Amino acid sequence: MLHLLYYAPCIPGNSGAAIRLSACTGSMLHLIEPLGFVMDDTRLKRAGLDYHDLAHVKVHPNLDEAVAEIEGSLYAFTGHATTWHTDVSYRDGDGLLFGPEPTGLPAEVLADARITEQVRIPMTPQRRSLNLTIAASIATYEALRQCGFPGLT
């Protein structure tokens, strides 16, 4: 199982869409506090549609508790990296770490020794970022492709 980690997410609709992504890919979604919303937010529920009961979601009080559940490598996604997300070899049990909208992962998180590598999704120059769950979807499907789309049809 892949692990998607959202560090301090702010926008409920993005986390709702991540719930759908988790349900459709069999990935575990880790939401790391502080959250910019409450879990019963109507925007979160609307974006997640009826997938909430089909997804694997955990809320963690801090990054340490979330990372403790990652069996594999931990990849931090940031626009400041030079390695593309397609240039690493993903395996079952890896974690894909994403920062909050609109700031991304803070420097102290990017400096964490538990991060295997910082990676980026290529995009047109002079653009700040992709939507959080769009970026997570791109990364998740690349990792699943490399793993042979386990459990997906």
Report which of 115, 82, 112 is spatially closest to residue 96, judged by C-alpha positions.
Answer: 115
Measured CA to CA, the distance from residue 12 to residue 49 in angstroms comes to: 13
Measured CA to CA, the distance from residue 118 to residue 81 in angstroms comes to: 6
Q: Is 129 assigned a ligand-binding role in the annotation? A: yes
Measured CA to CA, the distance from residue 133 to residue 47 in angstroms comes to: 11
Q: Is 89 assigned a ligand-binding role in the annotation? A: no
Q: Is 99 assigned a ligand-binding role in the annotation? A: yes
Annotated binding residues: 99, 121, 129
Annotated binding residues for S-adenosyl-L-methionine: 99, 121, 129
